[in-house]
Amino acid sequence: MTSLSLFDLTGQRCLITGSSQGIGFALARGLAGAGAELILNGRNRARLSAAADKLRGEGATVQELAFDATDHSAVKAAVDGFEESSGPIDILINNAGLQHRGPLEDFEPEDFDFLMKTNINSVFSVGQAVAKHMIGRGKGKIVNICSVQTALARPGIAPYTASKGAVANLTKGMATDWAKHGLQINGLAPGYFKTELTAALVTDEAFTAWLTNRTPAGRWGDVEELVGAAVFLSSGASSFVNGHILYVDGGITACL
Catalytic positions: 160
Q: What is the DSSP letter of 17?
A: T
Residues 6 or more apart whose CB falls under 8 angstroms from that of 76 comprise 125, 129
Q: CA 123, CA 114: separation in Å to the nearest integer?
A: 14
Q: How many CA atoms lie within 13 A of 108 on its CB side?
A: 5
Residues 6 or more apart whose CB falls under 8 angstroms from that of 185 comprise 127, 141, 142, 143, 144, 171, 174, 175, 178, 179, 242, 243
Q: How many CA atoms lie within 13 A of 249 on its CB side?
A: 23
